[in-house]
Chain A
Amino acid sequence: DAKTTQPNSMESNEEEPVHLPCNHSTISGTDYIHWYRQLPSQGPEYVIHGLTSNVNNRMASLAIAEDRKSSTLILHRATLRDAAVYYCILRAPMIYNQGGKLIFGQGTELSVKP
């Protein structure tokens, strides 16, 4: 399974943009890049995913490097409710990956200061 590397923790100020990096140098051409976040004592929440092009949704933006070996999750204006552990996950096609399982690493713990 291809692995991802994320910083253990990051800090941000409220209402400022946050850029959460992820390295995935062994990504294969068919792996999708997914981002989830998890608040304490809750289940993970889907944030965004992409393959090659940058993606935007109401929660965040995903910037994918041209060589796909890294990506960045962008929260445009951090709020206190964005404080969570953010997971960057490579999801392989089902034939290589048990039922499309998500492989969670340690993630980045984001704290947001008022």
Chain B
Amino acid sequence: DGGITQSPKYLFRKEGQNVTLSCEQNLNHDAMYWYRQDPGQGLRLIYYSQIVNDFQKGDIAEGYSVSREKKESFPLTVTSAQKNPTAFYLCASSLGTISNQPQHFGDGTRLSIL
């Protein structure tokens, strides 16, 4: 079955530590996105990538970094500079970025601070 796989499902970070969240898709989609969701809130865009080897900052990129070396993969690193990283992180992909193309989401990674 085609879809988006996020791992791990739960992740704990110690103070001063960088952690990397994995996102893999086998839908052959060009565009990929990372969103953050806080309790009772809607999603906010962290980074997006329209094509391999290219990515752009979203609304809340500070303290995060990404790479897009392969079409299928768009990992997100939460760095120690992100002072409030506890949240639900969601990865999405779409065929492209035009406005009539839906986005497909993974099941998310829940990050907590130890």
Contacts and interface: CB of A to CB of B under 8 A. Distances in A.
Interface of A: 30-32, 34, 41-46, 49, 51, 87, 91-94, 97-107
Interface in B49-105: 49-50, 56, 58-59, 88, 90-92, 94, 96-105
B105 A49 contact: no
Interface of B: 4, 6, 31, 33, 35, 41-45, 48-50, 56, 58-59, 88, 90-92, 94, 96-108, 110
Contacts of B98: 93-94, 100
Contacts of A45: 105
Contacts, number: 81
A82 B109 CA distance: 23
Nearest to B49: A99
Contacts of B100: 32, 49, 51, 91
A-B pairs, 3 with minimum CB distance: A104-B42, A43-B105, A100-B97
Contacts of A97: 99
Contacts of A32: 99-100
Given A43-B90, A43-B92, A46-B104, A102 B99 contact: no
Contacts of B50: 99
Contacts of B103: 46, 100, 102
A46 B3 CA distance: 13
A30 B99 contact: yes
Contacts of B49: 99
Nearest to B45: A101
Nearest to B47: A99
Contacts of B90: 43-44
Contact of B58 (A44, A46, A98): A98
Nearest to B44: A104
Contacts of A42: 107-108
A63 B67 CA distance: 40
Contacts of B31: 99-100
Nearest to A105: B42
A90 to B, nearest CB: 9
Given A43-B107, A94-B97, A100-B98, A87 B42 contact: yes
